[in-house]
Chains A and B, each alone.
Chain A
């Protein structure tokens, strides 16, 4: 099961994702440079967090034009698993691989903190190792994580079972107080209609070891592994 971690200029969670896949989960993993169009036969792709191109124009707005994104799009169209975390999520939105857009956090500040998210669906390759309603403790770290989609899109997301994670409190209640950034419908993560592309603002790679305060993020990587294992049988 080979993973690829895409490196854009300005990516800064690339090493963290590489570490979790390679050292914590013991899976083969390689970096894929943004100028490459060769995905080196990977089974799953991670678009890591960070500030691609400094995010000076708009988050993810320039990275989507990187040569590697053409390969990512093809890979996704063919059903390959793509996980976009934080800036990776923002790039997937800019590239049109996921619907909606990001706004500044309601606080207008960068926010780094633990959040709780509730699993809304287990029928995706990213959540098979979780339970519906399960609360995962996974941190966020972003300025622009205030997810927005118009009503029609939201309805489609809802009906298509594409809303995978919602911000909640530690008891699993989805409340305004537990929504850290103002995201519409408390959305923390969505998939595409086919379910093979996930974008999420919380960082599962920062919550994959007890030493760091939570292991809940591992469930996402382990779900991917289980899915790929099932597929290859």
Chain B
């Protein structure tokens, strides 16, 4: 059938006929095929995405542009966005990841901002598999190739290994830029009669129909789609970046848009649609790197490092001069028209003519069927009493610390230039990366987060937790969470179970964004992350941006001084569902994920920030995967020190503990007032839950003993439970005692080198 060849349904084809009042020709049909693909039109997600809060006092530009923009004061704007490049990376990991980086960078600098940081959120299957090792090596190599060459530091991100991503890895790329002065540039073709220029690389046959490829499931035949993967040229993009920022200074740019998915078709029609204009272009005027390309190939090519530029009539030559200085082509390929049509010509011959709005804005929108998956009945039925507690806690912690999701990521981030531009004041390996903004006192903290296992076990709580944890991460550096971008990675939305996961996760994220005051300024949706009918864990990834008003107040996760007091903010409940411990020690992925109370989350983050700003805190670290014992271990390793911890935590005679031990799990939307309870502390729950459980809304702090009374006072005023756990020690030994019994005594000087190189060893690199 004509429609199925371009990925449309019969109904959609009929809609095209209605719009045109005739049958589309092959090129026109292809234009609708890509523009109405899920990747470009968000036809299956758009209705659900409207649930996100998208406004706030800082928001300058919300979803719908190349990237989101927030105002951070002092005349500074932060431009940021995250995007997925999952399918290309599954087929050709090096170029797939490299062009993912290239694409997100263009999204930032086409807005007129200088990119200053990249982060990558990655998911792979088991490293036991040869294929995973190939994918990991390729993806990391591709990110390094592109980011290092163009000179934008890759400062953070995360990577998880989990069987659910075995054949469908996730590569989500985040970029952040700074706009120091002037206005943001928008992707719009304004002013009838103004010329439109295609700038940068020449157009070839690479990546044709990449957008359609991204909108279908991976299969045995996907290898044959390798030509749909583009090839990146970071040097070309570096020239494009510098030329664009130089051109911006001249004020000549009316509109600018990156050529990404669906290439020229998408860029040109979206630019025209945003300005409510028409646009006419001639494919013969498009500089090409191959001969004999048809209009179809020119319009659908996804050749990288290209941008579409609109300038005022008569100013073409001035703009071209700047591109020439940087050795770049800038060809006038068409102009803005007033008739509302998207017209493609080959010389004098019109080869396609369709209404602009029908391509860019009028794709059909669907509310897909939604049904709770059956697997949840099983996973919810986790019975903790059937799980034996470890007989040797030392051994359990060691196993956990050396498990793939918790070992050092050094092998990865050392391949990235994380220092270029000399703004990186908090390097990879911490809760969040922090960048200084030269010439100001301000800093920017960035973190990406998203625990797919939690979302799999409860998408509402999992979605909310992704936002909450990302916010907690930036708070631990002393930054105030400001806004998020996201990548929503899911399976096939036509399956009711997948759509249910998607809706619930978006609801959870929306609730958390509202509660924490961090609106969504953009992002992307990646459906069809399935192989042979098997969906990945539903994985929304959050890219959180926080602002430090005074970068000198920044705090890092490592312990600083022997003798400092270690305290825990927040409650520890008997929660093992979805934990790393359950997976690593008991080989189970089950249970409800840890509950999340957004009011408490907010209180704890507020307290942590207040304490940091008051100068009380020596170190702060989010308690997440691997639980309290792992967090203690990580703060020891990061600080090259040890710790002596004695549980239950006491408050040094200050009273006012609000820890309440066992509690009923509550849905996230409830926010009961915390109950004051004396003394019960941390002893009423299973010891493995105490040490390895992943209760949310907890932060581990260390501070000078004389500062503790002020912190306790603040905690009491803020209604936040706080426990004194022990003290930082000179000797590199992590000691944890419970009710006088030695549970853990881990020699860190022995563990550290093993932990540091484990990933390299797994990859056969040591």
Contact = CB atoms under 8 A, between A and B. Distances in A.
Given A212-B424, A212-B425, A12 B238 contact: yes
A118 interface: no
A206 B235 contact: no
B239 interface: yes
Contact of B235 (A20, A49, A53, A111): A53
A10 B238 contact: yes
B765 to A, nearest CB: 7
A51 B151 contact: yes
A124 B551 CA distance: 37
Nearest to B443: A211
Contacts of A209: 422
Contact of A206 (B148, B150, B419): B419
Given A53-B235, A211-B425, A112 B419 contact: yes
B679 to A, nearest CB: 44
Interface string B407-449: 0000001111111111011000000000010100000000000
A15 B551 CA distance: 21
A209 B622 CA distance: 28
B730 interface: no
B144 interface: yes
B504 to A, nearest CB: 40
B327 interface: yes
A156 interface: no
A16 B148 contact: no
B238 A110 contact: no
Contacts of A111: 414-415
Contact of B148 (A20, A141, A211): A141
Contacts of A56: 235
Contacts of A206: 419-420, 422
B333 interface: no
B326 interface: yes
Interface string B133-170: 00000000000100011110000000000000000000
B233 interface: yes
Contacts of B420: 12-13, 16, 49, 141, 206
Contact of B419 (A23, A51, A109, A141): A141
A194 interface: no
Nearest to B425: A211
B659 interface: no
A112 B414 contact: yes
Nearest to A139: B419
B422 to A, nearest CB: 5
Given A16-B422, A203-B419, A206-B422, A23 B414 contact: no
B287 interface: no
Nearest to B114: A15
B234 interface: yes
A116 B543 CA distance: 34
Interface residues of B, number: 29
Contacts of A23: 438
B149 A51 contact: yes
Interface string A96-125: 000000000001011111000000000000
Interface size, A (range) = 20 to 34
Interface in B355-378: none
A110 B422 contact: no
Interface in B307-359: 326-327
Interface string B737-762: 00000000000000000000000000
Contacts of B413: 112
Given A10-B149, A51-B149, A112-B416, A16 B233 contact: no
A112 B418 contact: yes
Given A107-B765, A205-B422, A206-B422, A54 B235 contact: yes
A173 B765 CA distance: 25
B437 to A, nearest CB: 12
A51 B418 CA distance: 15
Contacts of B239: 9-10
B471 to A, nearest CB: 25
Contacts of B765: 107
Contact of A9 (B326, B422, B424): B326
Interface string A42-73: 00000001110111100000000000000000
Contacts of B414: 109, 111-113
Contacts of A50: 151
A19 interface: yes
Contacts of B327: 9
Nearest to B411: A109
A55 B148 CA distance: 11
A183 B314 CA distance: 56
Q: Please indicate which of the listed interface residues B144, B235, B238, B419 has the most CB atoms of chain A within 10 Å of its own CB.
A: B419
Contacts of A15: 421
Interface string B543-570: 0000000010000000000000000000
Nearest to B145: A110
A59 B557 CA distance: 38
Contacts of B424: 212
Nearest to A109: B415
Given A9-B326, A15-B421, A212-B424, A110 B151 contact: no
Nearest to B237: A54
B243 to A, nearest CB: 10
Interface string A195-214: 00000000101100101100
Interface in B650-699: none
Contact of A55 (B149, B415, B551): B149
Interface string B499-542: 00000000000000000000000000000000000000000000
Q: Please indicate which of the listed interface residues B149, B236, B413 has the most CB atoms of chain A within 10 Å of its own CB.
A: B149
A143 B141 CA distance: 11
Contacts of A141: 148, 417, 419-420
Nearest to A107: B765
Contact of A110 (B144, B419, B421, B436): B144
Interface string A13-45: 101100110010000000000000000000000
A48 to B, nearest CB: 10
A212 B551 CA distance: 12
A9 B418 contact: no
A111 B415 CA distance: 5
A23 B436 CA distance: 15
Nearest to B424: A212
A51 B413 CA distance: 19
Nearest to A49: B420
A212 B326 CA distance: 32
Contacts of A203: 419
Nearest to A17: B422
A212 B422 contact: yes
A178 to B, nearest CB: 15
A221 to B, nearest CB: 13
A26 B274 CA distance: 46
A141 B422 CA distance: 12
Contacts of B418: 112
A205 B151 CA distance: 15
Nearest to B150: A12
A13 B151 contact: yes
A208 B408 CA distance: 28
B425 A54 contact: no
Contacts of A20: 422
B422 A19 contact: yes
17 contacts: A9-B239, A9-B326, A13-B420, A15-B421, A16-B422, A19-B422, A50-B151, A51-B235, A53-B235, A54-B235, A55-B149, A110-B416, A110-B417, A112-B415, A112-B417, A112-B418, A211-B436
Closest 9 CB pairs of A and B: A12-B151, A54-B235, A51-B149, A141-B417, A16-B422, A110-B415, A110-B144, A112-B417, A109-B415
Given A19-B438, A54-B233, A143-B148, 4 more contacts: A20-B422, A51-B149, A112-B419, A203-B419
Interface of A: 9-10, 12-13, 15-16, 19-20, 23, 49-51, 53-56, 107, 109-113, 139, 141, 143, 203, 205-206, 209, 211-212
